[in-house]
Amino acid sequence: MRIALAAALLTLPAPVLAQEARPEPATPASVVAAATPSEWKAIDRADLLVMDLAPDPAGNERRVVIQLIPAPFSQGWVGNIRKLAQGHWWDGTSVYRVVDNWVSQWGDVEETKPMPAGVTDQPDDTYTAPAFAAPELTLSDSYAKGAGFDGGWPVGFAESAIWPLHCYGAVGVARSVGSGGTGSELYAVIGHAPRQLDRNIAVVGRVIEGIEHLSTLPRGPSATNGVYDDAAQRTPILSARLANDMADGAPLRFEYLDSASDSFKRYVEVRANRKDPFYLHPAGGIDVCNVQPPVRRMPAG
């Protein structure tokens, strides 16, 4: 059996040793499956940004669903993003830059498209929030005093501040030196967490479905820092809307596992200490960006 099939182990019967049934070791998947309904929290449809890319060469639809980050983080940019979506600003723009193990970036590559009313550059000194309390779950960290999870989001913290992290799938605001950007030019992380960007760029959300439509795009040339030099290489954006502004948005129901819940704590413990048969040496630790906080899509209802 190759590693491809390791997850299939979950369905094997427990081995019987010395006439005694041994319980299956918990796995991240089994912990998530056992979480109670009250440990899951609904994501408000008003916080879902739904971006439809042009179909792929085989004609398959490509939808990317982004959860916008809640207060107290990055709300100046999130407010702009709501106005940009409501103004249909991204329609007809493109994904124009892709760098391996770094980011896919989209918006108006020419930076000439007028902003909707009320969308202005944000200051570049508001990447952290005052520390409101200790995060709900904390881990040791190579970058910050500590890291952990709060409200389902990975965060870093110090004595007086807390901030969201650049983990895989994080969505951030491209910006110029001396400006915090508007939020019209966005990127998603498609590689190992570039944590050096934390507190230096606004994290405004995370991709919760369809990241593969951004991570599989052809990489741009290194000479242009990944910006395609041929406009035909760009991936057109057909539309980007808040789910609650979409006529057909009702089926978009997502939930995240509450990071204050017992099941979330257990999930992190088990991810840090795998004891299912494939694992000979449980790691004994985990970095915050490898936790991958559970988010699930619910049946339309």
Q: How far apart are the first and last CA of the chain?
A: 39
**Cβ atoms within 10 A of the Cβ of 294, count?**
21
Phi then psi for 33, rounded to 5 degrees?
-65, -30
Q: Which of 244, 283, 296, 298 binds a copy of itself (CB under 8 A)?
A: 283
Q: Which H or E element spans position 75?
A: helix 75-86
Instruction: Give whichever of 96 and 241 is closer to a copy of itself, judged by the CB atom.
Output: 96
CB nearer to a copy of itself: give 178 or 248: 178
Under 8 Å between Cβ of 216 and 242: no
Nearer to a copy of itself, 154 or 242 (CB): 154
The contact mask relative to a copy of itself for 179-198 (x = CB under 8 A, - = no) is --x---x-x---xxxxxx-x
Is the Cα torsion angle 233, 211, 103, 81 positive or negative in sign? positive
Site string for a copy of itself, 24-53 (x = CB under 8 A): ------------------------------
User: Should residue 281 be labelled a site residue for a copy of itself when binding is judged by CB under 8 A?
Assistant: yes
Per-residue tokens: 165 = 């992290």
Closest by CA position to 9, among listed 29, 33, 32, 35: 29
3-state SS of 216-273? CCCCCCHHHCCECCCHHHCEEEEEEEEHHHCCCCCCCEEEEECCCCHHHHHHHHHHHC
* Binding-site member from 167, 188, 237, 268 for a copy of itself (CB under 8 A): 167
Q: Does 86 bind a copy of itself (CB under 8 A)?
A: no
Question: Tokens 């204050």 — which residue?
Answer: 260
| Window contacting a copy of itself (CB under 8 A); options: 16-24, 86-94, 176-184, 254-262 | 176-184
Q: According to the binding rule CB under 8 A, does residue 274 interact with a copy of itself? A: yes
Comparing C-alpha atoms, which of 94, 107, 196, 64 is closest to residue 143? 196
- Asked whether position 17 contacts a copy of itself by CB under 8 A, the answer is no
CB of 129 to a copy of itself, least distance (A): 14
Which position among 284, 299, 300, 301 is part of the footprint of a copy of itself (CB under 8 A)?
284
CB-nearer residue toward a copy of itself: 252 or 291: 291
Does residue number 256 form part of the binding site for a copy of itself (CB under 8 A)? no
- Do residues 138 and 278 touch, judged by C-beta distance below 8 A? no
- Enumerate residues 195-254 that contact a copy of itself by CB under 8 A: 195-196, 198-201, 211-212, 215-219, 224-227
Q: Is 105 in the site for a copy of itself (CB under 8 A)?
A: yes
Residues 127-156 that bind a copy of itself (CB under 8 A): 127, 139-144
